[in-house]
Structure 1
Amino acid sequence: MASLTARALASLLGDWRSSSMPAYASLADRIRLLMLDGRVVSGTRLPAERDLAQHLGISRTTVTAAYSEVREAGYLESVRGSGSIARLPGRGPLMSEQGESALFDFTKAAMPAISGIADAASHAIEDLPRYLGEHGYDLIGIPPLREAIAEQYRRRGLATSAEQIMVTIGAQHAIALLARTLIGRGDSAVIEVPTYPHAFEAMRGAGARILPVSVTVEDGWDEPALEQAIRRSSPAMGYLMPDFHNPTGRTMPPEQRERVARLAAQHGTQLLIDETMAELVIDDIEPVAPFAAFGEAITVGSVGKTVWGGIRIGWIRAEAPLIQRLFRNRHAGDLGTPIIEQLVVLHLLADHDRIIETRRRQLRTGRDHLVGLLRARFPQWSVPDVAGGLTTWVNLGAPVSSQLTLAARAEGLLITAGPRFGIDGAFERHLRIPFGYTPEEMDAAVDALDRAWRSLAHDVPAPVDELSVVV
């Protein structure tokens, strides 16, 4: 059973106090949010009440009352000899029947399935018999799909052969496999903050010592900090999402890609480039070549964002020797990618241009609708312009993201607090809001956010001169 120390929990809690609530209630709310966000995993043993009280500098009575409230809400279980164990209470479907209170799930930066999947599946079934005489445990990908993925890279200006492609069970599987293969326990790894949280989890799970480097809406990547981290530590891996970065929406310019690739090569750092958002271009902007066109890099992609998250097909593009190494290491985690899903994606890639253009129109409509709503309803928020991707990274103007998330849940909206994308409780001033939903769903979500925000209005700190908080 995993255990959380008082120091670790205090770090995750961040600035948990609320001026409008008793201390025990504020602490209980924040602990519950950490469980809902997945930052405290179900089954984890929480620190003893005395230890947490001492570390937070509060009375044990306050912690006891907070734990009691969390326990009564169904998020904590007392086990004799094991202490207090985190639990997630069961709940029904996210969208309930009409007439009941509905929960809208805005925790996913994703879209509904693209049209044509059923037809592609029908064609895949027709193709399946030619593979039924084989064992079906495919650890590298069927040759036609590997070639089709390589062709997509060639069309984007990056020479690629089928031998450089491994087909995986989605992009997250690819990231975890690469982390497990390339990171040794105690190795350092560079990762952006904010970042895709499951990439951070994969690297931490592989035993990496994390070196965070900032990415902001205003300035993009903190290149001096990135350079310092690589020069001082020669990290084993660097995880970057240079195309419509999740969650900020930033894209790394070509000249910066070239400098970062050159620096990483000089210090033996293998760059893992997440391109899952790369094709989700909304505005008419100058296309940027894949990162690997500027220097050596391992690339991860998938159809989860462009086609549908329900088709679990991703891939790794790397030099052939690394692909073979990954092939040898893969058995420990899985026994291959389903053949039928590979065949479905093979047929969908033949319709690639139509799919991307459809998504572009959908995302432009969604982005314009959401940004307009947010700017009209929340003039005190800073809502950035984004040229692609699936999300906007909103600055709330006050460190209340976790409070707002909990209040929104009470109003029927599930949305992820800013600290979920950071390390050690950072980004309380930010909220990631996806725009891959219908206008009607976004209207309902913004209505819920508006009610939640107004419920916090008396507890939101007054704006602070931005110059006083620059660090």
Structure 2
Amino acid sequence: MTTTTGPQVPVHRQLSAHAATRLLGDWQSKGPAYRALADALRAAILSGALGTHTRLPSERDLALSLGVSRTTTTAAYRELRERGFAQARTGVGTVTVLPRHSGPAPTPSLTGGDAPRPQSSAPHGDLIDLGQAAPAAPPDLHDAYQRALEALPRYLSGIGYEPLGIHPLRVAIAERYTARGTPTSAENILVTSGAQHAITTLAQALLGAGERAIVQSPTYAHALAALRGAGARLVGVPVGTPGQPGPPPFDVDLFESTVRRSAPRLAYMIADNHNPTGYTWTEEERRRVRAVARRHRMPVIGDETITDLYLDRPSPAPLTGDGQDDTHVIAVGSASKSFWGGLRVGWVRAHPELVRRLALRRESIDIATSVLEQLAVVDLLERSGEILAARRVQVARQRDHLVAGLRRIEPSWRVPEPPGGLSLWLDLGVPLGSALAAASAERGLLINAGPALTPDGSHASQVRLTFAPSTDRIDAGLPRLADAWARVSGRAAGSAP
């Protein structure tokens, strides 16, 4: 085996022959076996099911596992290298990469939205956004602001700067964690100006330039931007869609293998209603991730922004567990998805020492969060049971409406029905995600291309759509999606809804 030219890529994880056989499934097709195997491996890399910087099993081990000759696996690996999807390293083996023209997706703007936004040529008033997962405000919001105004005078004699957050809100958030099973006090809570501010502040406090950060692939695009902005080198752990072919929704063994090989400074994870697949970790997965964090002395940031939006099942215990791992497991939450995006109030739950450190660091960014907004959130949290029950019913109705509409457009699409969250991870079956997003934008419809939600530009066959908008807006957007699909796929899109 000869090495390829050019800089050698790092190895972040290793794939066993057994795992490769399970991942490839029924890979054989007409034509030479080596080409079918190379095509199957290439498709797995493009879809994100097989992460880049993964050491493949040896040619001999894979041949034995698949029941083919070593000549077949040798030729398949050679074809992968020639097509730019693998690199051979002396003393290491064959490592997966993406071709040089398929780099990471561009960093999104942090001014709004959930991923880089394609430019639309449609009139502004005609724009339909099925890419930004932001529901409208509940009817209770106006009254919450009224009561917040009534409570505001008691704060007017002070200077209005509360770097840690106002005490009533910190207590209310702490009580929420305690009620969910994680004993928490106000000293564990830092109030921020939204979850994005929380993630950015954590990244800047915990990361140094060039240090690695582990993320799920795909994941929340603005978290990728925050980590990159802090100078991190991102390492993705492939995650799949529940009930669909490909990698498991979350593989703890692969996660720990990636931690062990890449020596990251931190990990950013979404354990509840994962954005965009909708998967929720089991209690066993949560326990094992906490153990990995302890064993490797690595902070895990658990994004709980969408934790309240369980649609088909009750909410599990927090990733933070019994709270004894608060030096290693840090939670980020927000009022934006539960109540309204215009409420720029988020929070961090962490060890008190880190909370104080973050409060000092934030002073260079925004000093403190608006007192009026915090008071409104205190009021909303007191009434959250009734508000969120109505919100879940509405969001579930919109999800079902979007799922049904997508299945009418193109029967070959794999359309999941996520049990929670605000987003749906649509598999087109062909690497046209970016083309579909661009063609949709030309028709006044915004959706998110899969590569924009990954650290390495993979998942070319996926797009993310949100069911946060009303059913009327979904109905207005689906014919545009059908028309865009007909354009990029080169065939009739089927009956539009």
Q: 1:432 aligns with which of 434, 454, 464?
A: 464
Cα distance in 2 between the residues matched to 1:201 and 1:457: 31
Residue deviations 1:306-349 (CA, integer Å, cap 9, x gap): 10001100000011111111112111212110111111111111
Aligned ranges for residues 61-460 of structure 1 at < 5 Å? 94=124, 96=125, 102-218=126-242, 219-283=248-312, 285-293=313-321, 295-296=325-326, 297-458=329-490
Q: Is the 8 A contact 1:236 1:268 kept in 2?
A: no
Residue deviations 1:77-127 (CA, integer Å, cap 9, x gap): xxxxxxxxxx99898974x2xxxxx11122201210111111111111111
- Supply the AA of the counterpart residue of 1:151: E
**How many residue pairs were aligned?**
378
Aligned to 1:76: none
CA drift of 1:424 comes to 3.1
Q: Is the 8 A contact 1:396 1:430 kept in 2?
A: yes
Q: Is the 8 A contact 1:158 1:290 kept in 2?
A: yes
Q: Is the 8 A contact 1:234 1:268 kept in 2?
A: no
Residue deviations 1:193-242 (CA, integer Å, cap 9, x gap): 10111111111111122121111103211323211121233322110001
TM-score using structure 2 length = 0.72
Q: Is the 8 A contact 1:276 1:302 kept in 2?
A: yes
Residue deviations 1:413-451 (CA, integer Å, cap 9, x gap): 111211110123211100111111111111111111011
Q: Is the 8 A contact 2:203 2:230 kept in 1?
A: yes
CA drift of 1:410 comes to 2.1
Residue deviations 1:145-165 (CA, integer Å, cap 9, x gap): 100111111111111101100
What is the aligned-residue RMSD (CA, Å)? 2.5
Cα distance in 2 between the residues matched to 1:197 and 1:454: 27
Q: Is the 8 A contact 1:235 1:268 kept in 2?
A: no
Aligned to 1:79: none
Moved beyond 6 Å, runs of 4+: 87-93
- 3-state SS, counterpart of residue 136 of structure 1: coil
- Supply the AA of the counterpart residue of 1:177: T
Cα distance in 1 between the residues matched to 2:184 and 2:263: 28
Aligned to 1:46: none
Cα distance in 1 between the residues matched to 2:434 and 2:315: 36
Identity of aligned residues (%): 41
Residue deviations 1:244-303 (CA, integer Å, cap 9, x gap): 1001111111101111110111111001000011110111x2531000016441000001
TM-score using structure 1 length = 0.76
- Supply the AA of the counterpart residue of 1:126: E
- 3-state SS, counterpart of residue 433 of structure 1: strand
Q: Alpha carbons of 1:196 and 1:121: their partners in 2 closer, same or farther (altered >3 Å)?
A: same
- 3-state SS, counterpart of residue 239 of structure 2: strand
Aligned to 1:49: none
Cα distance in 2 between the residues matched to 1:336 and 1:40: 25
Q: Which runs of 5+ in 1 are unaligned?
A: 1-6, 8-13, 16-33, 43-86, 97-101, 461-471
